[in-house]
Amino acid sequence: MSNGHSKWSIKYIVHLDEAMRSFPENWVYPYKLVSIDVWCIDLGEREEDSFMVIDLGGTIMQYKIMSNTLHKLPLNTSTCHAKWNAIGVLNDIVSARDLYDARLSNDLKVAELIQGNKWVWPEDWLIIFPRLQMLQVPFFSANMKDEVVWVTNEGCRTAQAWKDLRESSNTIRWHHLVWFSCSNPKQSLFLWLAIQGKLMTHDRMLRWNANGNYACPLCGTCPDSHSHLFFECVYSKKIWITMKKKLLFRGLSNNLMDIVQTLANYHFKKDIWGVINRFTVAVAAVVYHIWHERNRRIFNKPPRNENDLIKSIKYNIELQLLTLNVKEKKSVKIAAK
């Protein structure tokens, strides 16, 4: 096609008669009370992106153009579960209660809602869900079959399914302090909860029971909290200061969140000292044992003093290091001593 100065390539042909017939019937029929004037047609990169600008009784609207091939559906297309229209899956719009009130089955097929090339929606649905009035009556093909496929363009793979279903967020900078190959899963879990502020401390319990007798089980001076337990409490602070003397990071703060922020940028080596530092600097063992001692005292177990708990923490770390499968090197022998 040429306009005298340049040439245009034709990707496909839009038949206006077919497009007009696809308009919702209450716009045109039976008495043509609404006049429709086509102003222009915009052909997109894909056929489904094309639209026409129309004057519908004085209202300017954008109306999508889709060819008959894109309208064709398998006869067994599910009304509620398949994405067969432009407004999305019907189950996201219409609730199960609405289906029950209309005495419609959850397995209803699209073809069952069409009679004489007209929709037969429940009358109240057109008022409650006005978007249904915009749906075009589709064409059906007996040669097509409704199949379950994955909705992304990456193909049906379990890895892609996990990416689509999971709730993704930004990667946290301190994840390597909690989760690493030689970590203790139980202690890592409690450290993760402590960093997130999700342990059931007194300050959280006060929200739903303000009349309780709350006092820190370790020092008895005030209700405990995450910042108090790790490591503002006199009891836990002594334990943490003692453990810091055995680390390369003696200048670390006595606040858990400050410790995490400081160590988040630290690069741990992959040698034996890097593993030892993670066991201690990541404070998973310290946090776990302090929380465990706090709960022991709540349930009237015999309390342990600071020195006893420090010995328990050291012994726990030593046992974890003994489980490592390392090569017999000079650095390993030095670390073992």
Determine, yes or no, domain membership for 1.
Answer: no
Same structural domain, 253 and 315: yes
Provide the percentage of residues in the chain whose pLDDT is more than 90: 23
Same structural domain, 56 and 112: no
**The predicted structure's pLDDT at residue 79:** 87
178/192 Cα distance (integer angstroms): 7
Same structural domain, 222 and 330: yes
Please give the residue range of the domain that contains residue 217. 175-336
Q: Which residue has the tokens 């410790």?
A: 259
Of the listed ranges 42-46, 102-106, 230-234, 237-241, the least confidently predicted one is 42-46
Same structural domain, 56 and 80: no
Determine, yes or no, domain membership for 166.
Answer: no
Same structural domain, 330 and 255: yes
**Does position 245 have pLDDT exceeding 90, yes or no?**
no
Same structural domain, 187 and 215: yes
Domain-terminating residue out of 66, 89, 107: 66
**The predicted structure's pLDDT at residue 336:** 63
SS3 217: coil
For 111: left if phi > 0, alpha if psi spans -120 to 50, otherwise beta; the answer is: alpha
Determine, yes or no, domain membership for 85.
Answer: yes
Same structural domain, 187 and 256: yes
Max mean pLDDT among 55-64, 89-98, 137-146 falls in: 89-98
**Does position 30 have pLDDT exceeding 50, yes or no?**
no
**Does position 28 have pLDDT exceeding 50, yes or no?**
no
Of the listed ranges 88-92, 135-139, 280-284, 317-321, the least confidently predicted one is 280-284
Domain-terminating residue out of 122, 141, 160: 141
Same structural domain, 87 and 198: no
Instruction: Using the CB atoms, write b or e for 60-77: b if 16+ within 10 Å.
Output: eeebbbbbeeebebbeeb
**The predicted structure's pLDDT at residue 167:** 78
280/248 Cα distance (integer angstroms): 10
Determine, yes or no, domain membership for 149.
Answer: no
Mean residue pLDDT across the chain: 77
**Does position 65 have pLDDT exceeding 60, yes or no?**
no
DSSP E strand stretches across 117-219: 118-119, 139-141
CB contact at 8 A, 185 and 268: no
CB contact at 8 A, 137 and 228: no
Same structural domain, 183 and 263: yes
**Does position 57 have pLDDT exceeding 70, yes or no?**
no
**Does position 248 have pLDDT exceeding 80, yes or no?**
no
Beta bridge partners of 73: 140
**The predicted structure's pLDDT at residue 149:** 67
**Does position 26 have pLDDT exceeding 80, yes or no?**
no
Same structural domain, 80 and 60: no
Beta bridge partners of 78: 109
Mean per-residue pLDDT, 202-224: 89
135/71 Cα distance (integer angstroms): 11
Q: How many domains does the chain have?
A: 3
- Band of pLDDT at residue 311, cut at 50, 70 and 90: very high
- Band of pLDDT at residue 229, cut at 50, 70 and 90: very high
Beta bridge partners of 53: 40, 62
Residues 103-120 have pLDDT tens digits of 998 888 988 998 888 889
**Does position 33 have pLDDT exceeding 70, yes or no?**
no
Same structural domain, 127 and 208: no
Amino acid at 281: V
Of the listed ranges 194-203, 237-246, 279-288, the least confidently predicted one is 279-288
How far does CA 300 lie from the centroid of its chain? 41
If 0-12 CB within 10 Å is exposed, 13-18 middle and 19+ buried, where does residue 329 land? exposed
Same structural domain, 129 and 261: no
333/315 Cα distance (integer angstroms): 18
**Does position 99 have pLDDT exceeding 80, yes or no?**
yes
